[in-house]
Amino acid sequence: MATNSTTKKDKWIIGSLLFLSFVPSLAGLIRIFQLITGSGYTVENQRFFNDPIPVLFHIVSVLIYSTLGVFQFAPGFRNKYPKWHRVSGRILVFFGLTSAITGIWLTLAYPKVPTVGDWLFGIRLVVGFWMLFCLAVGFGFALRRKFQFHSHWMIRGYAIGMGAGTQVFTHLPWFVIVGGEPSGVPRDLMMGAGWFLNFLFAEWIIRRKGK
């Protein structure tokens, strides 16, 4: 019974996280295709074509980080393959840190586009440095074999890293009610809401695990 319960939980976790990462992963692959082929050039995305290195590093690191992380948080899979968990966990930390660093790099290096408000710059910096902090602290606890705290901080880091998936849902009310692409402060708030909801969900998971 316990094994069946664990299997169902694993399937739910893996399925949910893969679903959450599907749209941003697809968008990232499309962006890579555009940059390689030179297609889809617009005023909105010209900064990526002018300087493609930061965004390419960011997309690749996010794709690997989100995919590996899916299996890190499935308890049955993790317990069945502890060596895989340790090895892939180190890879996960590397690409998670790369994702956060390149996210900060994108924020600082690329010019502001017309659809972005005044708040998103600061929000992205806070999110990027918070993710860096979570992963560094989580890895430090793993080295000291304090695995409960390690798990907590890795949950926080992964939740923030998956913010783009949640942003799909925070934008839905605008698309349904208003229509068209949001811009300015409304867009900033919807972007920020994706990260904030993931932050709250991570804290809820951590407190639930502690009971």
Q: What is the pLDDT of residues 141-160, one digit of tens each?
A: 999 999 999 999 999 999 99
Question: Of 29, 103, 101, 41, whose CA–CA distance to 67 is shortest?
Answer: 29
pLDDT band of residue 182 (cuts 50, 70, 90) is confident
Domain count, the chain: 1
pLDDT band of residue 13 (cuts 50, 70, 90) is confident
Separation of alpha carbons 142 and 152, rounded Å: 11
- Would you state the structure tokens that stand for residue 102, as one six-digit string? 């390149």
- Residue 128: the pLDDT is 96
Residue length, the chain? Answer: 211
pLDDT band of residue 31 (cuts 50, 70, 90) is very high
- Residue 43: the pLDDT is 73
- pLDDT higher than threshold 50 for residue 16: yes
Rounded mean pLDDT of 9-36? 89
Mean pLDDT score of the chain: 89
Separation of alpha carbons 30 and 38, rounded Å: 12
pLDDT band of residue 85 (cuts 50, 70, 90) is confident
The whole-model pTM stands at 0.89
Q: Which residue has the higher pLDDT, 2 or 70?
A: 70
Q: What is the pLDDT of residues 112-131, one digit of tens each?
A: 887 888 899 999 999 999 99
Separation of alpha carbons 122 and 115, rounded Å: 15
- Residue 140: the pLDDT is 96
Q: What is the pLDDT of residues 189-209, one digit of tens each?
A: 999 999 999 999 999 999 987
Query: CB–CB of 128/96 below 8 Å?
Result: no
Q: How far is CA 6 from the centre of its chain?
A: 25
- pLDDT higher than threshold 50 for residue 3: yes
* Residue range(s) defining the domain that contains residue 192: 2-209
